[in-house]
Amino acid sequence: MLKYALKRILLAMVSVFVIMAIAFFSMNAIPGGPFAKEKAPEPAVQAVLEKRFNLDKPVMEQFFLYISNIFQGDFGISLKTGREISTTIFESFSISAKLGGYSILIALIMGLILGSTAALTRNKWPDQLIVFFTTLSVGMPSFVLGTLLLLVFSLILKVVPAWSIENQNYVLPIIALSLYPTAHITRLTKSSLLDVFGQDYIRTARAKGVPRIKVIVKHALRNALIPVITYIGPLTAYSLTGSMVIETIFTIGGLGTKFVTGITNQDYPMIMGTTIFLAILMVIMTLISDLLYRAVDPRISFD
Amino acid sequence: MNDTPLLQVKNLSTSFPTEQGVVHAVNGISFNLDIGNTLGIVGESGSGKSVTAYSILRILTDPGRITGGEIYFKGENILNYSEKEMYDFRGKKISIIFQDPMTSLNPVYTVGNQITEAILLHTDRNKKEANERALNLLELVGVNDPQKRLKQYPHELSGGMRQRVMIAIALACEPDILIADEPTTALDVTIQAQILELMQELQKKLGMAIIMITHDLGVIAEMCNEIIVMYAGRICERGTADEIFYNPCHSYTKGLLRSLPKFTKDREKLIPISGTPIDLLNMPKGCAFAPRCKDAMQICLSELPKEIPINDFHLASCWMNVKKVYDEVKEGRKNG
Ligand SMILES: Nc1ncnc2c1ncn2[C@@H]1O[C@H](COP(=O)(O)OP(=O)(O)O)[C@@H](O)[C@H]1O
Ligand SMILES: [Mg+2]
């Protein structure tokens, strides 16, 4: 297990490096630049700026400078605001992490509870209610849901205030972001549990005299969790990209917003910084879900 | 002498109400099992053998329901037990092993965990004592290197080994009855013989009664004191092994024997029973086997045959036997 974990961590580091390279060189290959606009600065000023951002050096050198800076926590400075990008990422990520983290947590908890309930009450009213809920949720895009929630609860009913820096109410954005994954995990858990209930080893457990509740929790749930755990990776990806949309609708200044404004401003260091940061996050989450998966299912070999 | 049998199944019926209709899997079967005896249940696949076994332990899967009859264990009707009382009953009084050892063990728990679970549930041994017991059990069922096996997962073991582990689990609490539901069907021929031998050996050592379920008459020839032949959820013939093998009195049993290489002298004559197995959704009025029986008479289609004694060790439910008696009487009258 340990050997496998080390191997995976090493591999994860390689993927991060590759992502950095792709991000860096594709940014370099894009024509135009922040200083090549209509209001281009004078050549002398431009030369100073280029020297300031290492743009006068050969590309390969720029790349390795950039990488070594990142390993020291330095993502460079924004071309737009002149602020340290690492500070911007850190600040905005604390907001996004709250939104994404809670959404993932809620999706997992609610999904497991609803999915198990549906499986255990199959074809009875709780199951039917849950099926109705999941069908509805899976079909609804998060931006439509976000807008609806905002309209109903903030504007018409005025029960939850709209998001602002002073009044950071995460309830609506979290609902909007977690609804789809909740529905998805519910379905996943239900079908996986129903499949497990039909397995021979469940009959063995019952024949041993294991009480029903223990059959469900010990023998069924652990097996049923395997497909849910493999979904944690894609779930993270969804939450990261989904939060860009949700943050925009609720005007939350999170990482997603910084990424989007970075693009509109052609703020290359900002785009690269956020991209690489998100990529690292994604790689870590995939790594965690992979290790969890292997911890739960002994059939997976560690080589 | 105590003459209540260890297990007494009376008129047991089990069915599955499905969307297509009610599947009548078991239709009023009765049999007894005495302490230390071995009862064989044979029949083609789909004849209701497994459902009978699951009914006895009350581990039917939805929508299976026991719709009639009684099941007495040491004189107590276990159909009156609450689900909670059944937890103490299953695996302690009656244990079962299944057909497919590859899927019958939980893949995410170690062999040791799955054996000790049964011990911890039914005895007041602590974890350490349960572990020791599990070790002894693995030795008992002939698993090599038991210390190592305890920590292994099912997928690390061969099919034969897994079935031995299943037997170890089943015997963990020294049950009075072991039900073996086609325990060797999924195994290689050489392993089959080993497992059967092991079961006989364990029976001698521990003295439990065995219900040996199989679709292969060859498997139980040497093992069983008594054999029940099932078809369409009914018992069509029962008797001692000798009677069933050498004096079959039901067309279905005769058919089963004809499909056995051991009991036909001429290899050419090995014939499987023709026709398709019975549709349990629409049970015929008469003998369920009549549509496939080459000797079927008018009455076979319209009326259910009663169980008729052939001799002291043999009962059969086939109109042919009635006809035989009738013919003999008629012949006797003519002559006398
Ligand atoms: N869960 C179920 N739902 C519907 N029908 C079932 C179910 N389990 C068993 N049956 C039916 O009961 C009949 C007897 O099955 P079974 O006892 O498993 O036969 P076998 O003699 O091969 O063990 C079969 O026709 C089967 O289709
Ligand atoms: Mg069966």
pLDDT per residue of chain B (336 residues) written in tens, 0 to 9: 467 899 999 999 999 999 999 999 999 999 999 999 999 999 998 999 999 999 999 999 989 999 999 999 999 999 999 999 999 999 999 999 999 999 999 999 999 999 999 999 999 999 999 999 999 999 999 999 999 999 999 999 999 999 999 999 999 999 999 999 999 988 888 899 999 999 999 999 999 999 999 988 878 887 898 999 999 999 999 999 999 999 999 999 998 888 776 655 555 556 677 777 778 888 888 899 988 888 888 888 888 999 999 999 999 998 988 888 888 888 888 776
| Both tokens assigned to B39 | 């009862």
Helix (H) or strand (E) holding B9: strand B7-18
Superfamily (CATH) of domain A86-296? MetI-like (1.10.3720.10)
Position B262 scores a pLDDT of 62
Chosen for mutation from A123, A193, A197, A206 (greatest number of chain B CBs closer than 10 Å) is: A206
Taking the CA of B283 as reference, the closest ligand is 1
Residue A178 pLDDT class (50, 70, 90 cuts): very high
Interchain CB distance below 8 Å, B92 and A205: no
Sheet of B65-73, strands arranged across: B21-33, B7-18, B65-73, B76-77
Question: Can you give the pLDDT at residue B133?
Answer: 96
| Res A179 pLDDT > 80 | yes
Instruction: Write the CA distances from B68 to B10, B13, B26, B58, B65, integer angstroms.
Output: 9, 5, 10, 13, 9
Q: What is the pLDDT of residue A76?
A: 85
CB B316, CB B308: distance < 8 Å: yes
Q: Yes or no: say if A100 and A240 are a contact pair by the CB < 8 Å rule.
A: yes
Helices (H), chain B: 49-57, 83-89, 111-122, 127-140, 146-150, 159-171, 189-206, 217-220, 241-246, 251-258, 298-302, 319-335
What is residue A36's predicted lDDT score, i.e. its pLDDT? Answer: 58
Paired tokens of A279: 């990529």
Ligand 1 pocket mutation pick from B13, B16, B42, B45 by most atoms within 8 angstroms of CB: B16
Residues in chain A, how many? 303
| SS3 assignment for B155-192 | HHCCHHHHHHHHHHHHHCCCCCEEEEECCCCCCCHHHH
- Top residue of B55, B104, B111 to mutate, by most chain A CBs within 10 Å, is B104
Determine the angle formed by the axes of helices A268-296 and A255-264, rounding to 10 degrees: 140
Supply the pLDDT for residue B155: 95
Q: How far is the CA of B54 from the centre of ligand 2 (A)?
A: 10
Please check whether residue A297 touches B, CB under 8 A. Answer: yes
Contact B107 A298 (CB under 8 A): yes
CB-CB neighbours of B154 under 10 Å: 24
C-alpha A98/C-alpha A102 separation (Å) is: 6
Q: Residue B139: what pLDDT?
A: 94
Q: Which of A255, A153, B294 is nearest to A247 (CA)?
A: A255
Q: Read off the amino acid at residue A216.
A: I
pLDDT (tens digit, 9 = 90+) per residue, A66-123?
888 888 888 888 888 888 888 988 888 888 888 999 999 999 999 999 999 999 999 8
* B96 vs B82: CA distance, rounded Å: 20
Q: What is the pTM (predicted TM-score) of this model? A: 0.86
pLDDT tens digits, residue range A240-294? 777 888 888 888 888 888 888 888 888 888 888 888 888 888 888 888 888 888 8
Q: Give the dihedral sign, CA A250/A253/A254/A257.
A: positive
Q: Left (φ > 0), alpha (ψ -120 to 50) or beta: where does B143 sit?
A: beta
Question: Of the candidates B334, B312, B310, which has an alpha carbon nearest to the alpha carbon of residue B320?
Answer: B310
Residue A140: pLDDT above 90? no
The crossing angle, in degrees rounded to 10, of helices A142-149 and A171-197 is: 130
User: What is residue A61's predicted lDDT score, i.e. its pLDDT?
Assistant: 87
Of A204, A212, A222, the CB nearest to B98: A204
The ipTM is: 0.91
Residues A203, B59 contacting (CB under 8 angstroms): yes
- Burial of residue A14, with CB atoms counted within 10 A of its CB: 0-12 exposed, 13-18 middle, 19 or more buried: exposed
- Output the pLDDT for position B268: 52
Can you give the length of chain B in residues? 336
Shortest Cα–Cα distance, A294 to chain B (Å): 11
A198 touches chain B (CB under 8 A): yes
Report helix, strand or coil for A77.
strand
pLDDT at B109: 96
Looking at residue A269, its pLDDT comes to 84
Could B121 and A200 be called an inter-chain contact, meaning their C-beta atoms sit closer than 8 Å?
no
Read off the pLDDT of each residue in A151-159 and give the average, rounded to a whole number.
86
User: What is the spatial distance between Cα B316 and Cα B234, in angstroms, rounded to a whole number?
Assistant: 11
Angle B118-B122-B123 from CA coordinates, rounded to 5°: 110
Question: Between chain A and chain B, how many beta carbons pairs sit less than 8 Å apart?
Answer: 69
Give B-chain residues touching A201 at CB under 8 angstroms.
103-107
Q: Name the band, by pLDDT with cuts 50, 70 and 90, for residue A65.
A: confident
CB-based contact B258:B264 (threshold 8 Å):
yes
Amino acid at A106: I
pLDDT, one tens digit per residue, over A10-52 is 998 899 889 889 888 888 887 766 665 556 667 777 777 777 7
At A63 the pLDDT is: 87
**Mean pLDDT in residue range A144-167:** 83
Residue B61 and residue B55: Cα distance in Å, rounded?
Answer: 10
Instruction: Estimate to the nearest angstrom the gap between the alpha carbon of B145 and the chain centroid.
Output: 32
How much is the pLDDT for B266? 55
Strands B226-231 and B234-240: antiparallel
Q: Whose CA is nearest to atom 19 of ligand 1?
A: B46
DSSP B227-242: EEEEETTEEEEEEEHH
User: How far apart, in whole angstroms, are the C-alpha atoms of residue A143 and residue A241?
Assistant: 12
Most confident of A1-10, A127-136, B274-283: A127-136
The C-alpha atoms of residue A12 and residue B170 are separated, in whole angstroms, by 46
Q: Where are the beta strands (DSSP E) in chain A?
A: none
The pLDDT score that the predictor gives to residue A286 is 86
Residue A303: predicted pLDDT: 56
Q: What is the pLDDT of residue A163?
A: 73
